[in-house]
Amino acid sequence: MELIFAPLEGITDHIYRRLHRRFFPGVDRYFTPFLSPTQNHIFPPRELRQVLPENNAGVALVPQLLTKSPGDFLWAAGALADMGYEEVDLNVGCPSGTVTAKGKGAGLLGDRDGLRRLLDGIFEAAPVRVSIKTRLGLGDPEEFGAILAIYNDYPISQLIIHPRTKREMYGGTVHLDVFADALSASRAPVCYNGDVRSAADIRAIEARFPGLAAIMIGRGLVSDPALVSRARGFGADRAALRRFHEQLCEAYCAAFGGPGSAIHRMKAIWTLMLESFQDGEAYQKPLAKTKRWPDFLALTGEVLEQLEPRPEPARSSFLTDG
């Protein structure tokens, strides 16, 4: 079963992906934060940097596209194919209000005729394999039966399901019963995404859904960069995490022209990483208030030297009897 690193906007850029791959092996594929192709048919420099092959050497990467236009999708897919990519992902899962208000991301789930027209245009001429990352619907998870019937009409390379609705955002529990029904009914290989926080979660999902093709992990893997390495038996010690942190700092300072801008990216990463340390919550407010690079380095250094990792949970919420 594949283990995939989900895209997190503002965090899992090409610098982060390359260094994560170096220090924490085991992830099979990484997805880019979404690219938004427009009628101009030009990747902005910031998006282009994310997909340039030389910036992703050694990383198995799938670019993700956010659009409701078949023409814009096909242009971007063609440009990515020219760079050597063999698969792209269509984002039908982003629940952000600024995205869905434009009828993109999870907003596509409210217009099933429009979704079908989009997929008709994409699969008529796509030059690469196309996977889809989706949610269950806008407000009712039972909407997914009709949505899956649409997906089943197309040769989707993989269907990545986050079993929440657009309205639920990232709150509440995932709808594992609806996911189980979708897994058995989908014609495409299915990937699970949502609330995976530990190696115990990975093992429980594998056991509960034996027909699953992949598990996609996002926030849990940024919080604990060694999560997949540990689950795959590679192991990872405190020294690896320290070197990962140090090289991220160096790389972002170089990319952003100094620590003044790098600190914002590193603080976003550490806001999640603190969740994987015992008593890490006590450092959240000091981290948020930190404005000077030396203070940031002192705070994160203290965490790395003095705090212990949170222990693996005794049981997973994904257990069948849970």
CATH of the domain at 176: 3.20.20.70
Q: 18 and 152: one domain? A: yes
DSSP three-state, residue 54: helix
Out of 199, 231, 263, pick the residue that ends a domain.
Answer: 231
Domain assignment of residue 273, yes or no: yes
Domain assignment of residue 243, yes or no: yes
Q: 273 and 195: one domain? A: no
Domain assignment of residue 213, yes or no: yes
Please list, residue by residue across 43-75, b when 16 or more beta carbons sit within 10 angstroms of its beta carbon and e when fewer do: beeebebbbeeebbeebebbbbbbbbbbebbbb
Domain assignment of residue 322, yes or no: no
pTM for the whole thing? 0.96
Domain assignment of residue 313, yes or no: no
Domain assignment of residue 136, yes or no: yes
The number of residues making up the chain comes to 322
Out of 208, 231, 254, pick the residue that ends a domain.
Answer: 231
Percent of the chain with pLDDT over 90: 94
How many distinct structural domains can be found in the chain? 2
Of 152-156, 172-176, 196-200, 236-240, minimum mean pLDDT range: 236-240
Whether the pLDDT of residue 94 is over 50: the answer is yes
Q: What is the mean pLDDT of residues 17-43?
A: 96
Q: 174 and 291: one domain? A: no
In which band, very low, low, confident or very high, does the pLDDT at 320 lie, cut at 50, 70 and 90? low
Domain assignment of residue 56, yes or no: yes
Q: 248 and 224: one domain? A: no
Q: 209 and 269: one domain? A: no
Q: 78 and 224: one domain? A: yes
Q: Which residue in this structure is represented by tokens 């926080």?
A: 197
Whether the pLDDT of residue 41 is over 50: the answer is yes
Q: What pLDDT is attached to residue 321?
A: 46
Residue 133 belongs to domain spanning = 2-231
Q: What is the mean pLDDT of residues 247-260?
A: 97
Q: 51 and 167: one domain? A: yes
Q: 158 and 285: one domain? A: no
- Assigned token pair, 6: 């989900």
Please list the alpha-helical segments (H only) found in 24-100.
Answer: 45-51, 70-82, 97-100
Q: 202 and 61: one domain? A: yes
Q: 185 and 104: one domain? A: yes
Q: What pLDDT is attached to residue 316?
A: 87
Q: 102 and 173: one domain? A: yes
Q: 75 and 210: one domain? A: yes
CB atoms closer than 10 angstroms to residue 117:
13
* Inter-CA distances, 92 with 15, 110, 131, 138, 207, Å: 26, 11, 10, 11, 27
In which band, very low, low, confident or very high, does the pLDDT at 317 lie, cut at 50, 70 and 90? confident
Out of 212, 231, 250, pick the residue that ends a domain.
Answer: 231
Task: Give the pairing of strands 87-92 and 129-134.
Answer: parallel
Domain assignment of residue 106, yes or no: yes
Q: Which residue in this structure is represented by tokens 């001429």?
A: 125
Q: What pLDDT is attached to residue 312?
A: 84
Q: What pLDDT is attached to residue 188?
A: 98
